[in-house]
Structure 1
């Protein structure tokens, strides 16, 4: 290639690269986040914290109750709201005393704090965890597990374990059976499998009591629409659930006269249910705080209600990356969103920056849980001790990482609500 042609080619490439440069996505905090920023900068604890907006939580509870089909009860999913105080507040705001629990210490804590609540396990517990619950149960609390707690059982061997536990404790355990409605994460896979469980339960009425079914449908809506729409997936799970209920009533007609728990749904799918659904109660929790994983069309009326606030430790003009090549200098000229550097207190959370707009972690510099780098344009306009706000991608783990929840009531932090102990695995 001749020199002139080579230079023209390189010039064309450079011009194309310049045309493809990212737009400036930066903007300062909006009015909402600026109010939070100003308060925390002068009154906050000077460390990362998890903010819960009480006004938004209350509005989300109203939204949820408005979309709940007639005749269907709400069961509050505790793992998505991993604080006894938060669960209690949601119970007050929704009027529901039904809670789905996933972690043995939380069962005991909730039994003590809310002795009138009705609890259903959201996953099958190892029998040793169930044994530990009874060991730690305070008999003076007023909570009666024989009437208010349903253990989830996914198989005949687990039911046999629970029978042995009930016999050793001289108690009667309420048994809810997990059924596979298409998620394929466990539970009965064929209605005929129910027969053996019912036979064992009916043979030991002093120690076991059948209380209903739980069928979780988190898979619905996850497939591309050209394979299966959310509505088609929902109809399929409903049909599977119906077959288990039909089998139950055929094998044991007496249950048609009893009040059983037929639990289903979850935040991503609760909007698909109507008053004709085969289940009689619907579970939800994540939609009430709305982490980014729940930015779904069916949940568009819910507001984000939890935010990580992290102080800026260092604010620097430009992008100065380690190493002998001046990559940072070229990068910031090409991308206006790399013209300013912020190092924050902490980082590497399951969360995405939401304010100021246009911030992004630096993939070359790498991640850090101590002082993580974020870049933005000049319009982000942050100084030392300002706050960067993040939205968690999910709530059940991330809400446990910051100590007590800071409850924001529009103009101040009014309360601090304890969360479950670190490492709870809830």
Structure 2
């Protein structure tokens, strides 16, 4: 059946070594006057945020800095940043970092023009007005929050992650400079890279997948499979970093336009309950959810095996689909992703986690119908390492 599509991605996308130098000039071209630069203290201390500040200064664009964003950004982070934005009269935001600063800036952007409380926007397309412009500078090859219509904020009172899917939060300019990713720790590189792989695989098999999303999700799987090990092994490998930047970027474009599945639904709960890094949570859960979903998308899983470098010559689609699951397990082992039992996860929480995951906005995109008992079983299977 022929259907129309509405495709979302930032108006301007800068990608490649050195493109961070263009941030200030792009903001000036757009007539933007004063930035709230949203980041975290680690990136300020490491000098990464300073490179963005230099570009803004060179272009004559004033800014103020909010560097209090936590690894899983909270409502307090958002409200504090919004207060500073209003106090300083900023008319746009520059987000610098991985998913946490990007998500926090998206929330501030929406609240600045729509008002209300962060909780008002949980769910799909809850805002009525376009957010303040955001220039999103990514520093990790993982979340792709700089190019998507999704953002996630932790409600610290309810201890849940609120997922917002809102085209009004989409950045105006997205910047992916792999030179900013040089020297990132191996553990962070591994976690964010597996996050990107999860985006690509879930986008490839989600119920909302279609021709364009399939093509770019598949390419993302190839890029990540070819480059993640090298990026983890040598953090200064610019070729591998560039491959991962492209892989994360196109994976984000894909899932932002077709949706995700229960890997993310379940991972969100691990993040809110135990403050487990999102990429680690996704990486741990991905192969178990793939095993659960495989029977309804055998042909696509067979192609995933090929994209991840497996020789499927002479294999049946069923055999090749099983190789895809093994390929993901091998990649996780090679980049030293921990097991769920090595985290703060407690089996006694499984009823609560599964119930929340079932209600998560990503669950509807899963290619296979799922019950709360299925989700409980998946958490426990991941915990047992079965």
TM range (shorter): under 0.3
Larger radius of gyration: 1
TM-score, normalised with respect to structure 1: 0.24
Higher relative contact order (CA 8 A, sep 6+): 1
- Of Structure 1 and Structure 2, the greater strand share is in 1
TM-score (norm 2): 0.26
Q: Which has the higher helix share?
A: 2
